[in-house]
Structure formats: structure tokens, C-alpha cells
């Protein structure tokens, strides 16, 4: 049996509304020598039935069903099942251009790259608008260290999709995603950092080949439990990883920037509309963030200057542990973001 050029790994969980659009875009690839591995993570809607129908229609599709275990476990199952020379991760509510596989594969082969990144189009479901990334123009021809530094600082996304990974690199370094009980919310950032560090060569395709379906209202208003804890775990894991690979000194400043930036995100997170917690619970969480020793030590190193005016003000209040003012400022900041999103729509 011929080895597939690309294994497309789809994470599926209750996405019946969008799943056919995703699968059709994969079956319509100009590169025929592909395989599609769809891992159903215990969906309770019609997603499993849709997958089974498509599997019968095309032998390149393999469906794996498992009990709900979270995104990390789904992607790991896909990696273990993949047979392709390269692998790519696809979210079931997204879709790709017909030349997605061919363009990425040709670039990888031409440059002997372990990792290829393409532009993506963010498709805003709430507004019907589209925004295209500018990754290639910013990083093509530059050392990969620049991308890594910006990845830490949040200037570039840590998404695992819109990328093609050489499978032998992943297997050689035993790269896997963290499981749900190990790390939540930031699985992609964990994986992306390690893939970039291990990649011998990174190339870019200056075309928006991946379409990211995004619900702004959901993202802006959805409260994420234990978000700060996840950030602290990721900070410590990344610190240990960088130390083991001899590059902690090179990225120490960016590592500190990450946890400070993450802290501001978590302060705003407490005031998202669907956070049903009591005010006392929000106060407790905000106080804990402001008092956390890792956050405070990193803030003492970064200062507030590298951040925009609103975050700088918020961080200054956090540094002084003025919890009433931190609460007011973060609540106002979150409401301003929600209002901006509302009028944009």
C-alpha cells in the first residue's frame, strides 16, 4: 500500500452543522494521495453517523470512535493512527482550500522542511467578515527564533492547524498533546512550541489555505474555568522544556512576558458574562492572580511598559495589589471588549 503524502487528522465533537463542509473540502484536494483520519470524541449529535456515511463513500477516510476524553487525547489518537509522510490537524468546523495539501507538501519537499505554515482566513460567523493572517510576510526568511519569541508574547497564534508537520520529526521526539487532566485550554500552545524548537527547517506558504470558523460572541463571553492554573502549568512545563534543550536563557524574557500577559487575560476572564460565580468567588480569584509569586516575579522583570495602555494600567494596579481597583478596571475592560464586538457586528 502506498504511503500517503499527507495524513489529515480531524478532531470531531458535536459538529454536525459544519462537518460535511469540512469533509467535502478534504475530499476535494488536488493532491489525491492523502488519508483522512477522523477521531470522534464521544459526540452525542449526528456527527458519528455523518462520519460513517463518508467513510463508506471514500476509502481514504478512516473513522475512530472513542469516549469523550478531550482535544489532546483526540489529536494524540490521530497521530498514532497516521501513516502519512506529513500530518496536518483540522478542526471539524473549519475547511481548507483545494490546494491546501498540494501547496504545503510541495513547499515542504522543496525546502526539506520539518514544518510548513500557511496563512489562514478567519471567517467571522457573527459578522460575515473575513480577516487574513500575515504570517509569511512577517517571518519568511527570518530565523525561527523570531517566530518563537512572538509565539510566547502572543503576537502570533499557537494554533496547531494551518501547519504541516513531518511525521518522522513528531515520532522521533515523541511529540504529543497534553491530556485534559494535565493541561486545559492551552494544548495547542504546548505542542506548537515544541514542534518549532525541534523543527530543523520551517517554511511558509503565502496563501490563506485554511479557513478558521470563529464565533466572536462565544469567545468574548465564554468563561474558562481554571484558566490561570493552566497558564501556570504551561509556564513551568515550558521553563523545564527550554532548560532541557539549552535555550532557557534565550527565551527567559519571553517566558516572563507570557505569564504576565496571561494574567491580564485571566483577570478579564473573571468578568465574562457567562461566569455564574458569585462576586466573592471572582474577588478571590482576582486576589490570587495578583498575589501569585510567579506572576509577581515575572511582572517585576517585564514591568508594564511593553503592554498597551489599558493593560499597563491594569498591571500597575495588580502590582500594587489594589484589588478593588483591579476588579473595577478589569470589569470595565471586559465590557469595552464586548461592546466593541457588538457594534462590529
83 and 142 share a domain? yes
The number of folded domains in the chain is 2
Q: pLDDT tens digits for 237-283?
A: 999 999 999 999 999 999 999 999 999 999 999 999 888 889 999 99
| Structural contact between residues 243 and 252, judged by C-beta atoms closer than 8 angstroms | no
Give one DSSP letter per residue of 313-326, joined into a string.
HHHHHHHTT-HHHH
Task: Determine the Cα–Cα distance for residues 230 and 207; give it in Å rounded to an integer.
Answer: 33
Model-level pTM? 0.92
**42 has pLDDT over 90:** yes
Q: Looking at 214, 239, 267, which one is the last position of a domain?
A: 214
The answer to whether position 1 is within a domain reads no
Confidence class for position 344, pLDDT limits 50, 70, 90: low
Confidence class for position 340, pLDDT limits 50, 70, 90: confident
Q: What percent of the chain has pLDDT over 70?
A: 97
Q: Which pLDDT value is given to residue 218?
A: 63
Per the listing, cell 524574557 goes with 253
Residue 12 CB partners (closer than 8 Å, separation 6+): 19, 38, 39, 40, 41, 43, 47, 51, 74, 92
Residue 69 CA neighbour count, 13 Å, CB half = 16
Q: Looking at 214, 241, 269, which one is the last position of a domain?
A: 214
Task: State the residue range of the domain holding 335.
Answer: 223-344
Q: Which pLDDT value is given to residue 93?
A: 94
**324 has pLDDT over 80:** yes
Residue 336 CA neighbour count, 13 Å, CB half = 9
Amino acid at each position: 500500500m502506498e504511503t500517503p503524502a499527507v495524513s489529515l487528522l480531524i478532531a470531531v465533537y458535536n459538529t454536525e452543522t459544519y462537518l460535511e463542509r469540512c469533509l467535502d473540502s478534504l475530499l476535494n484536494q488536488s493532491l489525491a494521495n492523502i488519508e483522512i483520519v477522523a477521531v470522534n470524541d464521544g459526540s452525542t449529535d449526528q456527527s458519528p453517523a455523518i462520519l460513517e456515511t463518508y467513510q463508506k463513500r471514500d476509502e481514504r477516510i478512516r473513522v475512530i470512535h472513542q469516549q469523550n476524553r478531550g482535544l489532546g487525547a483526540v489529536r494524540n489518537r490521530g497521530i498514532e493512527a497516521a501513516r502519512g509522510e506529513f500530518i496536518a490537524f483540522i478542526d471539524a468546523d473549519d475547511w481548507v482550500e483545494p490546494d491546501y495539501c498540494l501547496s504545503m507538501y510541495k513547499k515542504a519537499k522543496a525546502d526539506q522542511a520539518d514544518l510548513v505554515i500557511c496563512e489562514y482566513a478567519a471567517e467571522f460567523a457573527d459578522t460575515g467578515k473575513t480577516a487574513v493572517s500575515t504570517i509569511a510576510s512577517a517571518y519568511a526568511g527570518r530565523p525561527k527564533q523570531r517566530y518563537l519569541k512572538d509565539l510566547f508574547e502572543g503576537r502570533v497564534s499557537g494554533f496547531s492547524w494551518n501547519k504541516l508537520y513531518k511525521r518522522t520529526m513528531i515520532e522521533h521526539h515523541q511529540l504529543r498533546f497534553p491530556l485534559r487532566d494535565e493541561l486545559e485550554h492551552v494544548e495547542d500552545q504546548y505542542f506548537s512550541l515544541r514542534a518549532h524548537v525541534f523543527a530543523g527547517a520551517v517554511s511558509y506558504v503565502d496563501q490563506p489555505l485554511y479557513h478558521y470558523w470563529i464565533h466572536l460572541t462565544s469567545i468574548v463571553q465564554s468563561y474558562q474555568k481554571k484558566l490561570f492554573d493552566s497558564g501556570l502549568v504551561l509556564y513551568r512545563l515550558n521553563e523545564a522544556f527550554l532548560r532541557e534543550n539549552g535555550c532557557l536563557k534565550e527565551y527567559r524574557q519571553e517566558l516572563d512576558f507570557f505569564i504576565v500577559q496571561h494574567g491580564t487575560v485571566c483577570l478579564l476572564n473573571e468578568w465574562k458574562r457567562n461566569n455564574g460565580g458569585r462576586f466573592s468567588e471572582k474577588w478571590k480569584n482576582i486576589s490570587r492572580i495578583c498575589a501569585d509569586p510567579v506572576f509577581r516575579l515575572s511582572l517585576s522583570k517585564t514591568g508594564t511598559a511593553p503592554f498597551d495602555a489599558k493593560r499597563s494600567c491594569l498591571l500597575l494596579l495588580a502590582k500594587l495589589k489594589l484589588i478593588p481597583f483591579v476588579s473595577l478596571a478589569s470589569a470595565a475592560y471586559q465590557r469595552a471588549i464586548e461592546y466593541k464586538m457588538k457594534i462590529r457586528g
